[in-house]
Amino acid sequence: MARKYFGTDGIRGKVGEFPITPDFVLKLGWAAGRVLADQGEGKVIIGKDTRISGYMFESALEAGLSAAGIDVVLTGPMPTPAIAYLTRTFNGQAGIVISASHNPFYDNGIKFFGGDGNKLSDDVEMKIEALLDAGIDVVPSEQLGKVSRLDDAAGRYIEYCKASTPNQLDLRGMKIVIDAGHGATYQVGPAVFRELGAEVIAMGISPDGVNINENAGSTNPAGMAAKVKEVGADLGIAFDGDGDRVIMVDDKGEIIDGDQLLFIIAMDRKKRDVLKGGVVGTLMTNLGMENALKAANVPFARANVGDRYVNELLLANDWQLGGESSGHIICRDVSTTGDGIVSALQVLKALQNSGKQLSELISAIALYPQTMINVRVQNKRDTSTIPVIVDAVKQAEIDMAGKGRVLLRASGTEPVIRVMVEGEDSVEVDSQAKKLATIVEHEMC
């Protein structure tokens, strides 16, 4: 059955536009509660990022779940991976995060975790969808769900992060710039690294409900890069709005993306003989990453774009390490989902083990020039069904003479078509990407 509401990462959209409205989210809470009630007893953990609309949707979910007879535990602003962790450790039946991740403040979304900390299965999501068009029925008053607040959620998650590396890190003597993007890591992010001994210069820690991801965080790391150079820091670490992604800056102020970070973690594990199997990337993973892993005799496999698909392929292969160039990295031996703080600590552990600077470790991987342009469209049609676009892609690949690749895909979270071109010649790559983006815009807008 085709999904009507759920995308690759829950349900997401612009606040006030269907389905991201209070009435729909109340109904979503009730439908999820009904499905969970049929599966047994247990509370639901709800967290959120720092968007102003989070208050509204938190109340709506709370009401819907209570109407279905489900108890609720509220954590307040917490990273997405923290909710996955707390759901597991509190024996929750499910976890819900109110967030639109790296999107602007005027977007929001709802994503679910099962009791094991993994994303809900397709089967459960479809059962929830099946109830969304039905009328709400409320359980008898004595069976209504109760609501409580978990006051020490931040402390519990901080301790979990600190214990996520073998032989807990000692960061004394390191100066680190942390950019929380005014998002969900604004409290716990700096705290983790300070408690491990680092001197922390914190940025993006003043959320006001509308500045999440605004010229800050992992999607806008230029400010952090400048700060690293200004204060002479050893490195910088930037998280996105809900804390499941990380981008870093090395000691020279150069931005290090998710492919490079994933490579560093993989090489450290291989050197310590603890790398289980290989590494999972996506269709967007840089070809330079694949070549570098091949040279190191590390198996590599590509999944569809999205952490859900990376995780599915990791499970299918019985591997532990995967991720995306955006900085969404999954270390399954530590966490069930992408975790920006945990991933950053894995990189710092690799640095500690090597005795090198971050700029030295990334020298082993040479990334191909890659340009990605997001084209906003009115209808996210399949580009492979539009002859003009298909012909343009073929021509671009011919022009690059087999030394590049083209990928067009519809975003699972935004009304955009992502146009990606990768190759050896940066000028040619940029030119081809702009040409294809213009064609996509003309044909689909």
Q: Which residues are catalytic?
A: 101
Tokens (6 digits) for 153: 């959620």
Q: How far apart are CA 263 and CA 250, in angstroms?
A: 15
Torsion sign over Cα 370, 288, 235, 273: positive
The SS3 of residue 371 is strand
Strands 329-331 and 370-376: unpaired
Q: How far apart are CA 331 and CA 333, in angstroms?
A: 6
**In the beta sheet, which residues pair with residue 10?**
7
Quickly list DSSP for 131-178. HTTSPP-PPPGGGPPPEEE-TTHHHHHHHHHHTSSSS----TT-EEEE
302 close to 285: Cβ distance less than 8 angstroms: yes
Q: How far apart are CA 34 and CA 388, in angstroms?
A: 47
Q: How far apart are CA 320 and CA 46, in angstroms?
A: 27
Helix (H) or strand (E) holding 227: helix 222-231
Q: How far apart are CA 129 and CA 141, in angstroms?
A: 25
Residue 426: phi and psi, rounded to 5, are: -65, -35
Q: How far apart are CA 368 and CA 365, in angstroms?
A: 10
The SS3 of residue 429 is helix
The SS3 of residue 339 is coil
Query: Which letter does DSSP use for residue 29 in this model?
Result: H
Strands 255-256 and 329-331: unpaired
Other CB atoms within 10 A of residue 424 CB: 13
